[in-house]
Homo-oligomer: A and B are copies of this chain.
């Protein structure tokens, strides 16, 4: 049976890097691609950034490859994460040979809780002066994340939180994660999220797999992106129980959109995660290696100091697959 992959290009360079990644997928397997729309352009045309059709097709797909959305990013990606019932956002942040990185020894994976925290979306305007947001933490979501973390990192992981201030909510998160890990015999180390921010700059090799609440994962993984040389190289996977959505961590890059010079690496690496998720371990590893050797040897796009086009880099990756 052919796997069905939904493809949502979105806006800006999404329209360039997603087709690049699709051509790489095409080179390693036999997939049925189903295009769906979301983002600023769709909103302008139809009034809705995320059409119900797109939500439905993503919810039903085996996997989705998403590019980026512009102003409407939150309106698109947060519901799409819900569409795949994604309880964990897997965000590797790795420095690659050949890429100028502030900390070339960085090799981290963030396992970000993907359903709750401040993203739960309950906000109220209680008076002319005061608004509140209800931050939600459940033991069940924390345990589900912890089970995933134990499978992903059986040799142990770090848990970043702010339970010294958010005692009840991050305390619940921490207790749930640590107790699942204890039951499973997996070692954990706790670190306050602010201390993590300092320590990861001083020595990123202190950490490897970092489990954290939703917003902590958002900010700390972007920090790690800074250590490896920017967002242009970071893939991510939103994993649900029977479904998943893969996306580069970067945005639409409006300054270079339409010029055919965007770096497709993050999206191709996201496609490699997609392949592994669908069970194509060898193909996923091959794509990742092809991207890594292209980063090391070139050709390179302008963000990495080269002058190659998106297409030339993509072709170089495909050529290395043979």
A137 interface hit (Cβ, 8 Å): yes
Bound complex: CA of A198 vs CA of B137, how far in Å? 27
Given A118-B135, A132-B135: A194 and B219 within 8 A (CB)? yes
A195 interface hit (Cβ, 8 Å): yes
A1 interface hit (Cβ, 8 Å): no
Partner-contacting stretch, out of A12-20, A224-232, A265-273, A279-287: A224-232
Give the shortest distance, in Å, between A86 (CB) and chain B (any CB). 16
Bound complex: CA of A231 vs CA of B231, how far in Å? 26
A201 interface hit (Cβ, 8 Å): yes
A177-215 interface mask toward B, CB cutoff 8 Å, 1 = contact, 0 = none? 000000000000000011101111110000000000001
Give the shortest distance, in Å, between A68 (CB) and chain B (any CB). 13
Report whether B222 and A197 are in contact in the complex, using a CB–CB cutoff of 8 Å: yes
A33-47 interface mask toward B, CB cutoff 8 Å, 1 = contact, 0 = none? 000000000000000
Q: Which residues of B contact A131 (CB under 8 A)?
A: 136-138, 168-169, 172
Task: Name the contact of A200 in the complex, choosing from B164, B166, B200, B226 (C-beta under 8 A).
Answer: B226
Q: Which residues of B contact A230 (CB under 8 A)?
A: 198, 202
A4 interface hit (Cβ, 8 Å): no
A75 nearest CB neighbor, chain B only: B164
Give the total of A residues in contact with B, Cβ under 8 Å.
52
Q: Which residues of B contact A128 (CB under 8 A)?
A: 139
Q: Which residues of B contact A199 (CB under 8 A)?
A: 226
Give the shortest distance, in Å, between A250 (CB) and chain B (any CB). 9
Given A118-B166, A226-B200: A135 and B136 within 8 A (CB)? no
A162 interface hit (Cβ, 8 Å): yes
Report whether A123 and B231 are in contact in the complex, using a CB–CB cutoff of 8 Å: no
Report whether A202 and B226 are in contact in the complex, using a CB–CB cutoff of 8 Å: yes
A194 nearest CB neighbor, chain B only: B222
Report whether A219 and B193 are in contact in the complex, using a CB–CB cutoff of 8 Å: yes
Task: Name the contact of A215 in the complex, choosing from B136, B139, B162 (C-beta under 8 A).
Answer: B162
Task: Name the contact of A227 in the complex, choosing from B118, B133, B165, B201 (C-beta under 8 A).
Answer: B201
A102 interface hit (Cβ, 8 Å): yes
Q: Which residues of B contact A198 (CB under 8 A)?
A: 222-223, 225-226, 230-231
Report whether B138 and A135 are in contact in the complex, using a CB–CB cutoff of 8 Å: no
Bound complex: CA of A2 vs CA of B197, how far in Å? 41
Known: A124-B168, A129-B140, A132-B135. 12 other contacts (CB 8 A): A78-B165, A128-B139, A130-B139, A131-B168, A132-B137, A193-B219, A194-B218, A197-B220, A198-B230, A200-B226, A201-B201, A202-B229
Give 28 CB contacts A-B under 8 Å: A74-B164, A102-B102, A118-B166, A119-B165, A123-B166, A123-B169, A124-B168, A128-B139, A129-B139, A131-B172, A132-B137, A133-B134, A133-B166, A162-B215, A162-B218, A195-B222, A197-B219, A197-B220, A197-B222, A197-B223, A197-B225, A198-B222, A198-B231, A201-B226, A201-B227, A202-B229, A202-B230, A219-B219
